[in-house]
Amino acid sequence: MNPDLTRLTGLLPRPQDRGRIPDWNAAESTLQTSLPADYKELVEAYGGGGFIDGYLLFLEPGCRNGIYDLLKITREREEANDSLWQFEDKPTELEAAGTRLICWATTDNGEYLYWLVGQGDDPDTRPILVNDESGEHWERYDMTVTRFLVGELGGEVRSQILWGEFPQPVHEFRTATAMAD
């Protein structure tokens, strides 16, 4: 277990029912890129398609509940962003040829958290971009998903875009399976 994930398990209780493990090969084939190792380890430890502190929807490739499906949400966001960028400026990070976004989380307020993917990049060092609900404001974090979550839940990282009440004083993770119950 990577050190950030170990620290995260001390902050965020793991659910008893973690659900199924995604087909990583199928997901990466669909996305045409590898996913970060810490993200895969996080999904396998907690189960994907979850709800953190009643706010952050953590996405999983191929989740049976489409609200939590990384592949579905990424596809939808690509279409929405392409439409938006006909009228708004793209983030400067996306001006380089071959760059794109993969959405790994969203919120119930309409913010999106992405990896910035470049041609031939190292998936384990991809920056995170956070986008507000209007699509106009962006934040960049040069860290992994587990480090970002540890930072947010532990109070070391403070997004100006994410809801001011996040994180909650007592942390909770509920899987998509548990949400359906």
Tell me what the mean pLDDT of segment 70-92 comes to: 92
Residue 29 makes CB contacts below 8 A (sequence gap 6+) with none
Q: Is 90 exceeded by the pLDDT of residue 61?
A: yes
**Mean pLDDT for the chain?**
92
What pLDDT does residue 8 have? 95
What does the block give as tokens for 98? 């071959």
Q: Is 70 exceeded by the pLDDT of residue 178?
A: no
Q: Distance between CA atoms of 121 and 116, rounded to whole angstroms?
A: 10
Q: Is 70 exceeded by the pLDDT of residue 181?
A: no
Cis peptide before 13 (omega within 30 of 0): no
Q: Give Cα separations from 141 to 1, 71, 114, 132, 133 (angstroms).
A: 22, 22, 10, 14, 18
Q: Is 60 exceeded by the pLDDT of residue 56?
A: yes
Residue 130: strand pairing partners:
113, 139
Q: Is 60 exceeded by the pLDDT of residue 180?
A: no
- Domain count along the chain: 1
Tell me what the mean pLDDT of segment 69-86 comes to: 94
In the block, which residue shows the tokens 């040829």?
97
Q: What is the CATH number of the domain that holds 111?
A: 3.40.1580
Q: Are 61 and 100 in contact (CB under 8 A)?
A: no
Query: 159 lies in which domain range?
Result: 3-180
What pLDDT does residue 16 have? 80
What percentage of the chain reaches a pLDDT higher than 70?
A: 98
Tell me what the mean pLDDT of segment 42-71 comes to: 90
Range from 12-21, 51-60, 145-154 carrying the lowest mean pLDDT: 12-21
Q: How many CB atoms lie within 10 A of CB 179?
A: 14
Residue 59 makes CB contacts below 8 A (sequence gap 6+) with 48, 49, 68, 69, 70, 73, 103, 104, 105, 106
pLDDT in tens, 10-52: 999 888 877 778 999 999 999 999 999 999 999 999 877 788 8
What does the block give as tokens for 169? 């004083």
